[in-house]
Structure 1
Amino acid sequence: MTEVTSLTGRLLVATPRLADPNFDRAVVLLLDHDSTGSLGVVLNRPTPVGVGDVLAAWAGLAGAPPVLFQGGPVSLDSALGLAVLPGDVREGQDQDTLGWRRVHGAIGLVDLEAPPELLAAELGSLRIFAGYSGWGPGQLEKELLDGAWYVVDSEPGDVSAPDPDQLWRSVLRRQRNELAMVATYPDDPSLN
């Protein structure tokens, strides 16, 4: 079996040729990636549903916009919380914040079963996702070989981008190579 280099904590940015409507111009943060498969959340799919309508106790901690995000097409009836801890949190540094588990850097998963008061003083920003994106063993690697995704580094601000509809373009624009040009790709190439 081929060893998989972990992409946990990196972003998958949909290429313009990705045909799956679930991932059109999607920016996915990989929460877990190894030889058994991959799991992530789409960061730029806000829904019209307010966090308070679904998880009232967490509404006061949700960042702007304070809505539920569609994390992907899998298990839409489940919720995942992602939060960034403010300050200088480094890999390998012990993190003893109850109810928060590091994914990458200052980005971590929030235990939505925990009382929000436990985390209120610790969290910098919080997003709640309905569902997630998942790939079986080797599935993501095949999609990468097929050119469906660009893999780029994530930044803590990606999780709480105030204008999620522009995240695809802004993530591409900050790249220091030819990917920055892809950000100018028209929404509808047939109108070009």
Structure 2
Amino acid sequence: MIWTMADRQLTGRLLVATPDLKDPHFERTVVLLVAHEPGGTLGVVLNRATEVPVADVLDKWAPLVGDPAVLFEGGPVQPDAAICLALANPGGSPSDGWTRIDGPVGTVDLSCDPEELARGVRQLRVFSGYAGWEPGQLEREIGEGSWFVLDTLPGDAFVDAPDDLWSMVLRRQGGIMAAVSVYPSDPTLN
């Protein structure tokens, strides 16, 4: 389902960059919105894997991280900060260190004991930095046509081939969105 300006609940939704969005931080990105509140909006870019293994920076969390087991570039804000997403086990009840975003997807407090958390989650993904918007900024960008706002599936944040996520999310929408999924990065080279 495509979001409309009348729908104000964005937490847990996907922002998918339109082909017109040429900002190098967000071109062809898929962002999971972690929080949308009166003070602003926070999300993480789901499809920008780095080459840094999670084990190199958060060794005790590495056994819970799915493939690819690397840090992801969550966005341009505070690149030294880490945000961790976790997928809860079906019917599971993760520990106190897990906070629900939407359905079985939530954030993890990395100061918690990973062994305690492991009982309630099946997969983690760690992001360095995040994407942030001041109050009203994201709504303006959506109104200007920079973003598609779409429903998420629980596995979107944990796909094995994150480079394919932008086209995969658009393709599953059907219709014109599926056509956009094959839009060339540089149409002048077409």
Q: TM-score when scaled to structure 1? A: 0.92
What is the distance in 2 between the residues matched to 1:88 and 1:15?
35
Q: Cα distance, 1:106 vs. partner?
A: 0.5
Q: Cα distance, 1:176 vs. partner?
A: 3.1
Secondary structure at 2:19's aligned position in 1? coil
Unaligned runs of 5+ in 2: 1-5
Q: Which runs of 4+ in 1 moved over 6 A?
A: none
Q: Cα distance, 1:177 vs. partner?
A: 3.5
Query: Within the alignment, does 1:80 sit opposite 2:80 as a pair?
Result: no
Cα deviation code 1:64-120 (max 9, x no counterpart):
00000000000000101101112157xxxxx56221110111000011000110111
Count of equivalent residues = 186
In the other structure, the counterpart of 1:168 is 166
What is the distance in 1 between the residues matched to 2:119 and 2:32?
25
Point out the more displaced range, 115-124 or 166-175. Answer: 115-124
What is the distance in 2 between the residues matched to 1:137 and 1:24?
22
Q: Cα distance, 1:134 vs. partner?
A: 0.2
In the other structure, the counterpart of 1:104 is 102
What CA RMSD, in Å, does the superposition of the two structures yield over aligned residues? 1.6
Using the aligned pairs only, state the percent identity. Answer: 54
Secondary structure at 1:23's aligned position in 2? coil
What is the distance in 2 between the residues matched to 1:69 and 1:80?
10
What is the distance in 2 between the residues matched to 1:19 and 1:60?
36
Query: Within the alignment, does 1:27 sit opposite 2:7 as a pair?
Result: no
Q: TM-score when scaled to structure 2? A: 0.93
CA contact (8 A) 1:4 1:35 kept: no
CA contact (8 A) 1:57 1:116 kept: yes
CA contact (8 A) 1:84 1:125 kept: yes
What is the distance in 2 between the residues matched to 1:48 and 1:153?
29
In the other structure, the counterpart of 1:179 is 177
Cα deviation code 1:36-70 (max 9, x no counterpart):
21000000000010000110000111100000000
CA contact (8 A) 1:43 1:69 kept: yes
Residue 181 of structure 1 aligns with an amino acid whose one-letter code is A
Residue 85 of structure 1 aligns with an amino acid whose one-letter code is A
CA contact (8 A) 2:42 2:133 kept: yes
What is the distance in 1 between the residues matched to 2:176 and 2:82?
36
Query: Within the alignment, does 1:11 sit opposite 2:9 as a pair?
Result: no
In the other structure, the counterpart of 1:92 is none
CA contact (8 A) 1:98 1:118 kept: no
Residue 140 of structure 1 aligns with an amino acid whose one-letter code is L
Unaligned runs of 5+ in 1: 90-94
What is the distance in 2 between the residues matched to 1:10 and 1:71?
15
In the other structure, the counterpart of 1:131 is 129
Matching residue within 41, 44, 68 for 1:41: 44
CA contact (8 A) 1:40 1:134 kept: yes
What is the distance in 1 between the residues matched to 2:123 and 2:10?
23
